[in-house]
Structure 1
Amino acid sequence: MKLLIGAALALGLCGLAGAQVTPPDVARHQQQELKRGDPPRWSKPDRTQAAQLATLRKEISAALREALEACKQQGAGANSACVKEARATAREDMSNIREINIASRDLSKTYETSGK
């Protein structure tokens, strides 16, 4: 999904794309949730455009929170530029949310680039 690419770019630009930024208490909670398995709602698609856009907004907000947490892990000098970049990416994603939604449904535009 293009949103995830934007989040990855935001983290990459902050220099911490591969770093763990999940707070320890959140990580413990996630492990407990994983033991229970996927909630049934995860396998139900968003049928309406409004529901799809609401989900995208949540994903963009979550990606921004992760990017801001990654920025906190950096030194003070890079923090300001990192935060600005993360927020700019989130604003751009929010402004293009309808296009992202349409692109995520059009799988015919997915190309194999691995060379296989």
Structure 2
Amino acid sequence: MKFPKHSLLHAIPAVLTLMLAAATAQAQQADQPAASATARAQADATVVAQDSSDQNVPAATARKQAAEVASGDPQRWYREDMTAAARMRTMQKEIAAGLQEAQGNCKRQPTAERAACMKAARATYQTEMAQVRARSMAGAAQ
């Protein structure tokens, strides 16, 4: 099996980024019991204010992703979704992954704000899924 030349160069920064994110998350968790309530609230506000990124991925997921990236690009990345149903499944998986990441971010928020955040995440998920279904139906009608 021959991999493109750029795959190794692409994988190294990603692995290092994931490893750094996992180590940072572990260090923050170890320091949190000693931190004051104000410092924890400020840290939570910082996490909430950040845009979605690899740093928001749970540590267990980051480790799994790092292992996958280290083994090289999977061949499925180079196969195009040939049918509308396959494209729809891919979009649904991406939307579900977005919901999971958003819920993880919500769990880091203060308890008082968590319910509203989870509700917004579910609403976004439902809206995006409805748009995928609408696009699928529009494509089927043509």
Amino acid at match of 1:17: D
Q: Which runs of structure 2 are paired with 1:30-69 in the superposition (5 Å)?
A: 30-69=65-104
Q: Could you tell me how far 1:16 is from its partner in structure 2?
A: 3.8
Structure 2: distance between partners of 1:100 and 1:76: 37
CA deviations 1:14-45 (Å, max 9, x no partner) are 64425622222221121111111110011111
Q: Which runs of structure 2 are paired with 1:6-25 in the superposition (5 Å)?
A: 15-18=49-52, 20-25=55-60
Structure 1: distance between partners of 2:135 and 2:50: 24
Task: Look up the SS of the partner of 2:122 in the other structure.
Answer: helix
1:94 aligns with 2:129: yes
Structure 2: distance between partners of 1:16 and 1:80: 19
Q: 1:46–1:21: structure 2 CA closer, same or farther, 3 Å change rule?
A: same
Structure with higher Rg: it is 2
- 1:16–1:70 contact (8 Å) kept in structure 2: no
Identity of aligned residues (%): 40
Q: Which has the higher contact order (CA 8 A, sep 6+)?
A: 1
Task: Look up the SS of the partner of 1:29 in the other structure.
Answer: helix
TM-score of the two chains, using structure 2 as the length reference: 0.56
TM-score of the two chains, using structure 1 as the length reference: 0.68
Q: 1:100–1:76: structure 2 CA closer, same or farther, 3 Å change rule?
A: farther
Q: 1:38–1:73: structure 2 CA closer, same or farther, 3 Å change rule?
A: same
Amino acid at match of 1:55: T
Q: Could you tell me how far 1:99 is from its partner in structure 2?
A: 5.2
